[in-house]
Structure 1
C-alpha cells in the first residue's frame, strides 16, 4: 500500500474577500475529488484573503497510479488563472 500526500501553498492575488477566496478553492476541491480516488482539503491560512495551503491525499497499490492522481489535482490549480501555486511538498508513506 502506498499513501501519497501533496501540500501546496498558493496565492490568490485577485481575491478581495474570504468569500471570493472560498469560491475558487471550493471549485478546485470539488473537481479534484469528484469521481477520483483522492481526498482534498484546505489545511492552512483559512482566515487569510490571498493565501492558502491545500492538501491532497491518495492511497493505492502502485506509486505511479498515486503520482498520476496527485499530478492531476495539481494541474487543476495550474490551469486556474485566479490562483498561483508557490511551494509544493510531497510525502510518501
Structure 2
C-alpha cells in the first residue's frame, strides 16, 4: 500500500476577505474530491485573507497512480486564475 500526501502553500491574489478566500478554496477542494481519488483539505492559514496551505492525500497499490492523482489535483490550482502555488512538498508513506 502506498500513501502519498502533497502539501502546498498558495497565495490568493484577489481575496479581500475570508469570504473571498473561502470561495476560491472551496471551488478547488470540491473539484479535486469529485474528479480524482483524493482527500483534500485546507490545513493552514485559515484566518489569513490571501494565504492558504492545502493538502491532498491518496492511497493505492501503485505509486504511479497515487502520484498521477496528486499531480492532477495540483493542476486544478495551477489552472485557477486567482491562486498561485508558492511551495509544494510531497511525502510518501
TM-score by shorter chain over 0.5: yes
2:40–2:57: 8 Å Cα contact kept in structure 1? Answer: yes
1:18 corresponds to: 18
TM (normalized to structure 1)?
A: 0.98
2:2 corresponds to: 2
TM (normalized to structure 2)?
A: 0.98
Q: Distance in 2 between matches of 1:36 and 1:71?
A: 10
Moved more, 35-44 or 14-23: 35-44
1:78 corresponds to: 78
Mark the runs of 5 or more structure 2 residues left unpaired by the alignment: none
Q: Distance in 2 between matches of 1:13 and 1:37?
A: 28
Cα deviation for residue 37 of structure 1 reads 1.5
Q: Distance in 2 between matches of 1:75 and 1:10?
A: 13
Structure 1 stretches of 4+ with a deviation exceeding 3 A read none
Equivalent residues, number: 93
Q: Distance in 1 between matches of 2:53 and 2:70?
A: 15
Please state whether the residue corresponding to 2:47 is helix, strand or coil.
Answer: coil
Cα deviation for residue 35 of structure 1 reads 4.3
Superposed CA RMSD in Å reads 0.6
Mark the runs of 5 or more structure 1 residues left unpaired by the alignment: none
Please state whether the residue corresponding to 2:26 is helix, strand or coil.
Answer: helix
